Structure 1
Amino acid sequence: MIFHVSIAAVEPRRVAGVLAELWGGTAAPFPPVSDDGWIVFADDDRGSAIEVYPEGVVLREVDGDADAVGIKLPGIGLTSTHIAIATVLDHADVMRIALREGWPAKYRKRGGVFGVIELWIEGSVLVEVMTAEMQAEYRAGMSSANWLQMLASMRMAA
């Protein structure tokens, strides 16, 4: 189970607010890593959260008995990091939020198994948003057994 993840954003506060809206959760400042960091809580029973750091802030190990620290490097914009999140909103509501924010969004079917709304935060970070129907598809189709079966049908070993 994943309890929290972090993503980068040009406008961390704005991005955190939108993610909180999608989750029906809460956004708050997150100063441990950077002065402009934010955290979004899903307000669920698992403590699910997304930390939103300013673009260019990276985590770095610290020697000895100390927590990792955030340091600022030049931002690069795009990333392979992405997340899939559940939402209580429907498809139309998610698309309205994307339009309001000026962020690209479209419906996609992943491997013919489950649907997602590709929401491109600030046009550069992919968040796959799943409505209740999409979440049911995901739970029904996404498993190691199904994945291995697909690989076998493609004649690929795990």
Structure 2
Amino acid sequence: MIHHISLAKPLGTRIDARDPLRVAGVLAKIWNGKVYKFLVSDSYIVIPFDEYGTHVVVFKEGDVWSPSTEIEPAKVIQATPTKLVAIHAAVSVPTTQQQIEQIGQQEGWRVLTRKQGDAPFSLIEFWVENRILFEFMPPEFTPQYLEIMELESIEQMLGQHLESVPA
């Protein structure tokens, strides 16, 4: 299950990658999911078939969603790729800490296990292509995350919620 995605701009549950099929395959290993060709050329969708309908689309590097006219749907266009991205996602996965670390090592991607104390909750930083951060939580890590996301814990960590957000 995807617990949160932090975005610099609205992107939805999609990422771009230099090698989209490879990235989709790695994510499928971690989620025990399946990879399918997506509706956009050179893009793939990873589906773990969980009870939440979780999925992630992996576009080729530089592909972005773009709004169209009032009567036309959104479309995917090619934009200037960036080395790093302003997105990360926290995701509960069925695989173990050791499996995730091994997969990252096989790919040559940065993997760092952080325990509660040096982070608000235990997580595994998994850097897809060393540029996109996923915070993977194996089954034993997820209860800490869910506990932290309770109202009391959030307000203790972040303070009171904002009554209104300026437009």
Offset of residue 24 of structure 1: 0.7
Figure out how many residues of one structure are paired with residues of the other and give that number: 153
Task: Output the TM-score relative to the length of structure 2.
Answer: 0.83
Query: Bigger CA drift: 77-86 or 140-149?
Result: 140-149
The aligned counterpart of 1:16 is: 24
Residue type matched to 1:7 in 2?
Answer: I
Distance 2:86 2:103 in 1: 23
Give the alignment of 1:66-145 within 5 angstroms. Answer: 66-109=72-115, 112-145=119-152
CA RMSD of aligned residues (A): 2.1
Separation in 2, partners of 1:110, 1:52: 30
Give the number of the structure whose residues are more often helix, by fraction.
1
For residues 22-74 of structure 1, the C-alpha deviation after alignment (integer angstroms, 9 at most, x for no partner) is 1111111112xx31111111201221100111111111001133221010012
Counterpart residue identity of residue 45, structure 1? E
Gaps of 5+ in 1: none
1:99 is displaced (CA, Å) by 0.7
Report if the CA contact (8 A) 2:2-2:92 is conserved.
Answer: no
1:35 corresponds in structure 2 to 41
Cα shift at 1:77: 1.9
Query: Is the CA contact (8 Å cut-off) linking 1:55 and 1:77 kept in structure 2?
Result: no
Aligned equivalents of 2:25 and 2:34: distance in 1? Answer: 8
